[in-house]
């Protein structure tokens, strides 16, 4: 059986003998074969997408569970040190250390 494009070209340019008497049936059969292949590929792709979405949802749920297990700095526990000193690199504890060096010696 010829593919759809070959049959269509034989209908457009029939030659001296004219188109085949079964050209329309052949075109219909070739088109149906092409669309059934396409439909099968679409179905497989949709099943793959559904499977991947289910895996993604499971991964998101597992990630959420892990995030919930991370201890938070709750003000009621007394643990409020998050290791951030304001981002300027200078700690308030070191202010005044150099005051003795720059003291006015009048």
> Any idea where the domains of the chain sit in the sequence?
1-66
Each residue's pLDDT tens digit, 28-73: 888 888 888 889 999 999 999 999 999 999 999 999 999 999 988 7
Which percentage of the chain shows pLDDT scores above 70?
Answer: 67
Please enumerate in sequence order all residues whose Cβ is within 8 A of that of 73, keeping only pairs 6 or more positions apart, or say none: 79, 80, 81, 82
Q: What is the pLDDT of residue 33?
A: 83
The answer to whether residues 30 and 7 touch, using CB atoms and an 8 Å cutoff, is yes
Would you say residue 91 has pLDDT above 60? no
Average of per-residue pLDDT values in the chain: 78
Would you say residue 9 has pLDDT above 90? no
pTM above 0.85, yes or no: no
Which percentage of the chain shows pLDDT scores above 90?
Answer: 29
Q: 34: how many CB neighbours lie within 10 A of its CB?
A: 13
């Amino acid at each position: 059986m010829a593919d759809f494009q070959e049959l269509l070209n034989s209908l457009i340019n029939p030659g001296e003998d004219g188109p085949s008497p079964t050209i329309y049936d052949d075109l219909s059969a070739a088109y149906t074969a092409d669309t059934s292949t396409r439909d099968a590929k679409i179905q497989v792709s949709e099943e793959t997408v559904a499977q991947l979405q289910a895996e993604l949802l499971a991964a998101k749920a597992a990630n959420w569970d892990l995030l919930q297990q991370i201890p938070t700095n709750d003000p009621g526990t007394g643990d409020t040190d998050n290791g951030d000193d304001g981002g300027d690199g200078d700690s308030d504890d070191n202010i005044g250390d150099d005051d003795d060096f720059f003291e006015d010696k009048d």
